[in-house]
A and B are shown apart, each in its own frame.
Chain A
Amino acid sequence: MNTQSNFVVRAFRWFDPRGRSLSGWGFMIHRLTALGLTFYLFLHLIVLGQLAQGPDAYDNFLKSTESPLYKIGELSVVAAVFLHGLNGVRIVMTSFGIAVPRQREIFIGAMVIGLVAIVIFGIRMFIG
C-alpha cells in the first residue's frame, strides 16, 4: 500500500500534523511525551552515574541544577508525566472498550486537569 516511500520517511509519517482532529493530536502528544520521557530516563541514569565519581562531583552537579534552564527542563518532565499519564488512563479505558464514544470529552478533561497541574507546579517551582 503506502510502500512507495522509504523506511526512514515512513518511520516519521505518524507525525503529520496536517488535517488532524483533537484525538489525533492526543495520539501525537502521547507519543512525543513517551519519547521525551524515555530520553529523560537515559539522561537521569547518566546523571546518577556522577555518584560514582564521589560526593564532590555530585554536589557540584547539584549546584548547576539551580539554573533556570534546568528548572525549565524539570518542568518539561513534570508536564510530560502529567500529559502522558492522564491521556494514558483514557487510552487504557478505551482499550478495554470503556467509554469509547466519549473518548474525545475524556481527552479534553484529561488535558485540562494536566494543564492546571502543570501551571500549579510551574508557580511552585519558579515563584516558590
Chain B
Amino acid sequence: MVEKWNITVKFYRQKQGEKPHDQEIKMDVNPDENVIDLVERAWALHDRTLVFAHACHHSTCGACGMRVNEREKLACITPVRSVVANGGTLKVAPLRNFPVISDLVVDMGELYRRMDLVGHQPVDSDREEAIQPEFRPAGPAEPNEDFMRLSDCIECGLCMSACPVFSSTPDYLGPAVLAGAHQAGLEKNPLLFKLIDSATGVWRCHSAFECTAVCPSNVDPGWRIMELRRKVIGDRVKTLFNPRKPAEVGK
C-alpha cells in the first residue's frame, strides 16, 4: 500500500518589484515522491501563478535547483522523506546569490557566460587528471584512446548558491566556474591561467567546501579549486628557477 503523509509546504513567492512572502499549502504526499512532484502538483491544483523550472526530471539538465529547507538541492532527485517527517513543514525557496526572476526561478545568465569564458564543454574527453583519484577509471580500453563522456557539471548553480564567499563577493569567479576551468585544462589556454591566478580566482576561495557538499554531480569543485592552486604554486616554483617569457605562462 502506498504510504500517505500530510505535510505543509511553504513556497517562497516573489514577483518582480514585490516583497517576498511565504505561501503555505497543506498537501497529501507520498514520502517517496520527489520535491519537484509537490511543486508541480501545487502549481497544477492550487496556484497556476507559481513559477518554477524543470526539464529532465533525472538530474541531467540542472534546471530544478532550489533550496529545500534552506539547503541547495535538485528538486527532481530529492525524496520527500529525506527532507521532512510526516506532519512536518517543508520550505521551498529559490537559489541564493542570483537575482530572482519570479518565485523559484533565478537568473543564472552570468554563470553561463562565465562558464563559456573558461571554455567549459558539455562533453569532455575523459582525461585522467580531470577526475578525482577515487573516480578515475582503471584505464582506457585501448592504449591512447580517450573516451568521450558528458561533463560532470550540469551547470545547476547549486554550488554558486551555497558558496558564502560568492555571497559577499559577486566578482569571485565561483566554484562552478573554477571547476569548469580545471576541467577545460589550463595547459590548453594560458589566458585561463591568468584568469584563475587572481584575487577573484582560486585565491578568493576560503575553504568553506560548501560547493562540494551540495554538488549533485560529483564534480567536487572544492577539490578542483585546490588542484588549480597546486598547479599555480607548482608553476611559480618552476618559474623561480627557470624564468620564462610572459607568453609562456601556464604552459
Q: Give A contacts to B, CB under 8 Å.
A: 1-4, 10-16, 18-21, 23-24, 26-28, 30-31, 90-91, 94-97, 100-101, 103-104
Picked from A10, A14, A28, the residue with its CB within 8 Å of the CB of B170 is A10
Chain A's nearest CB lies how many Å from the CB of B140?
24
Picked from B71, B98, B207, B220, the residue with its CB within 8 Å of the CB of A94 is B207
Which of A1, A11, A18, A97 has the most B CB atoms < 10 Å from its CB? A1
Picked from A11, A13, A15, A103, the residue with its CB within 8 Å of the CB of B207 is A103
Chain A's nearest CB lies how many Å from the CB of B208?
4
In the complex, chain B residues whose CB is within 8 Å of the CB of A11: 168
Chain B's nearest CB lies how many Å from the CB of A15?
8
Picked from A4, A10, A19, A94, the residue with its CB within 8 Å of the CB of B168 is A10
Chain B's nearest CB lies how many Å from the CB of A113?
18
In the complex, chain B residues whose CB is within 8 Å of the CB of A19: 67, 69-72, 162
Question: In the bound complex, do residue B167 and residue A16 qualify as a contact, i.e. CB atoms below 8 Å apart?
Answer: yes
B39-97 interface (Cβ within 8 A of A): 67, 69-72, 96-97
Chain A's nearest CB lies how many Å from the CB of B139?
21
Bitwise, B115-151 to A at CB < 8 A (1) or not (0) is 0000000000000000010100000000000000000
Question: In the bound complex, do residue A24 and residue B164 qualify as a contact, i.e. CB atoms below 8 Å apart?
Answer: yes
CA distance A108 to B170 in the complex (A): 30
CA distance A81 to B42 in the complex (A): 50
In the complex, chain B residues whose CB is within 8 Å of the CB of A96: 226, 229-230, 233
Picked from B96, B168, B210, the residue with its CB within 8 Å of the CB of A21 is B210
Question: In the bound complex, do residue B229 and residue A97 qualify as a contact, i.e. CB atoms below 8 Å apart?
Answer: yes
